A and B are shown apart, each in its own frame.
Chain A
């Protein structure tokens, strides 16, 4: 078959280490392994790369896309187009084609029928996938999976991915499973060899080996959060499965036996318990936190809705727990496999009555690790629930990140009194007494044998000794002290990260997984003649740096992945004197924000503002 390729396509300038490739498959076909091999191989070649899995809420048979962005400049956010398509799914083929620009490339399984008049500004490479699978003598039951391995070889050869790097990636994936490694390698090699002999390269895209990325690792945010928690000395985690939080706890289950055997006895020091629902997950974590274990749970929006009453209990009884919310799209069941930043206001005020919470907002995989251990310290130090808001994009996608750094401070257990400590208080200890004037009381935990240690914890009104009280003055005093305790935290929480540009008069603010997108947008805005300073907020409540930033700029745009601009609303409340200097830019739809979109939005708003 011949293709109506325009001849001038061959003259397009080459694009090296700078393109976006999407692999279109169906879920359950084993494509995740193939895509990760491609992605890891690129990482091994020292090329900054991001990989995003856009997948359905389904086990098998629905379309799924894996997007690999290659960027020598290190831009790792999503882009709204594809340069290269690997088409394995006939169902979505025609639609997938529309995302390609002029000169775009399609690798397609040759059992997919082409449209009658294919675009003449694209380059088509048919792949005889099924024939190659046969030639590689793959066992019948593995053929479907191997089809995906075949394209790894073909695409790798045409783009210039080293076979050595592919082998590295395969080894990393299959570990010690020699037979699996051998079968997969044979399939990749068959595809690679076939492409070398049969494909005449006519497109502009290729990769080139770069020096290894120093001190970088490749993993997902949920794995990092799990490891951070285990290195933070978490001793109890209760959970209930939910996308996209499940893999966080599953990573804990995987690493726990290797990391958390007691060096003295060889026994386990971390209990991970799957329970009947999220009410129980929160309840169990609270029981453990109350009894002196470093306790956590991980969930997503619907689970958090169920945990709400218990969160109020933890807040008011001043029980330390850490809750990871790996956000997905809501309300309701929403889009369970897509990303959003829509839980911020919900979490900030989670619970009825006079309540507010501390939120940590990691913006990179490395920060998921760091906040994993820090959250446990903060929870125990301040005796309150600590929320960590990740999201599906950060939690479940693979990212290049700097190596995890060992905690730079000892574990902080906060103000726990054991038998001998209580002697110092000579009978004057009360569970909710603010002895130090910092709003943080001292606590005893179950098992303390001092006869003065025990107290009765209750979610009802209580006085400084934990005894039941309906006294109005006492109630107000308790509620105000808890607020004071939390407000004292503002300046010790992770500080915002500032990226400046020369002569910037306006600011942009973001949080969480949009970080790579906003870094890129900042450069694009500078090129467009609108330099902006970018501040990434990493915790709430707001600290002084944020107030100063907003005050120091003519105008500030808050960009986030929710409908109503939740962070912007919170900032307007907390930095009310500057409220008129804030505008909201929001993106919903379940996909990560793109820098192009963010740039256009800021430019349009700026034109509007300047008349």
Chain B
């Protein structure tokens, strides 16, 4: 008798095992923060009990953009050209609105070449989890400055960076994002909880994940290094995501120190406040916090802002619930009488 069959396999709510969420073996550098992110996406979706076929992955160009290959092999994926990932996702989302999209981008992809698309996909509120794997450096081209590189950063072939970094959480907020968070790849528990909440969020959810590049940008004094991150990370909340199927157990939280946020599907986000009185439903509070930590060079992590959208992009276009890409020909080609009316009007 085969031993493996008798071993107890871990299963989630829908009866899948963690293996069902795996991707191809990573070809990124060992220790790369991006691998941790891929692992936590798998873990988050496993824990949520998401059907892998109900997810589609998108990416652009760069180390970050290779990583969708390393998780969710059973999901469709599209690795396009540099900076244009949000456009592929925008077009694709209308094909089958049941599918939840995950976009993986990098700081080069989103903060430089694709900044316009980053802001406009937020403006359109395309339902996707938008993760920036932010390492503050161009890795795949072997170590150039990016638009999120810290001021004064020194790189081997580049010299010193004299330009200030962009903060993608600030950019997301002022573009109208209704879910904005930052995580640190070295803090897996917080990252996973944020991924879960972001995945459930109805609309675009932007998470800037500081993901140290172990090869080109991991000097101890670099903003996006493990050392700097561990020493300067300042979480604003301790986050616990509770799926709607589970009951909320609040004994762990001292009365008055947690805040409960209901997501649209009935699941709950519990935020245990570390920073006194931080209110993630206030946009001005988020802007203040981000501006302050930017100025003080602190790596603030956590959920900065969450708000429910009035209407989805599908409501705006008055689309049906059925997947558009499955509509039969007779429902997408007007009949002959319609053409006769057109011809008559042009006579």
Contact = CB atoms under 8 A, between A and B. Distances in A.
A290 interface: yes
7 contacts: A219-B346, A280-B87, A293-B95, A411-B333, A447-B98, A449-B53, A450-B53
User: What 4 A-B pairs have minimum CB-CB distances, sorted nearest first?
Assistant: A283-B87, A287-B91, A292-B325, A291-B95
B343 A407 contact: no
Contacts of B99: 446-447
B332 A291 contact: no
A447 B96 contact: yes
A460 B78 CA distance: 11
A286 B94 contact: no
B174 to A, nearest CB: 16
B329 interface: yes
A242 interface: no
B96 to A, nearest CB: 3
B106 to A, nearest CB: 16
Interface stretch (A124-132, A231-239, A592-600): A231-239
Given A263-B331, A269-B331, A446 B92 contact: yes
A412 to B, nearest CB: 9
Nearest to B119: A276
B333 A451 contact: no
A410 interface: yes
A271 B120 CA distance: 17
Contacts of B338: 231, 258-259
A277 to B, nearest CB: 6
A282 B95 CA distance: 16
Nearest to B91: A287
B28 interface: no
Contact of B91 (A255, A263, A285): A285
Interface of A: 216-219, 227, 230-233, 235-236, 238, 255, 258-260, 262-265, 267-271, 273, 275-277, 279-280, 282-295, 309-310, 312-313, 317, 403-404, 406-407, 410-411, 413, 418, 444-451, 453-460, 467-468
B159 interface: no
A288 B343 contact: no
Contacts of A258: 338
B256 interface: no
A407 B334 CA distance: 11
A270 B333 CA distance: 11
Contacts of A263: 330-331
Contacts of A407: 333
A230 B334 contact: yes
Interface stretch (B68-76, B213-221, B229-237): B68-76
Contacts of A447: 95-96, 98-99, 323, 325-326
Nearest to A448: B53
A531 B330 CA distance: 48
A572 to B, nearest CB: 33
Given A231-B334, A285-B91, A295-B91, A310 B81 contact: yes
Greatest chain B CB density within 10 A among A276, A280, A283 is at: A283
A287 B326 contact: no
B94 A271 contact: yes
Given A217-B346, A233-B333, A273-B90, 4 more contacts: A287-B58, A293-B324, A406-B336, A406-B339
Contacts of A413: 329
B75 A454 contact: yes
Nearest to A454: B76
A343 B94 CA distance: 31
A292 B327 CA distance: 10
Contact of A454 (B53, B324, B330): B53
B320 A287 contact: no
Interface string B310-347: 00000001111011111101111110101100110011
Interface in B66-124: 68-69, 73-81, 84, 86-96, 98-99, 116-117, 120
Contacts of B58: 287
B94 to A, nearest CB: 5
B306 interface: no
A268 B91 CA distance: 16
B320 A218 contact: no
B79 A457 contact: yes
Nearest to B69: A456
A227 B345 CA distance: 13
Given A291-B325, A411-B329, A447-B98, A271 B88 contact: no
B324 A269 contact: yes
A456 B68 contact: yes
A233 B331 CA distance: 8
B43 interface: no
Contacts of B346: 217-219
A406 B88 CA distance: 32
B56 interface: yes
A285 B329 CA distance: 20
B334 A457 contact: no
A410 B329 contact: yes
A456 B79 contact: yes
B81 A411 contact: no
A291 B80 contact: no
A258 B81 CA distance: 36
Interface string B199-216: 000000000000000000
Nearest to B116: A276
Contacts of B318: 267-268
Contacts of B24: 467
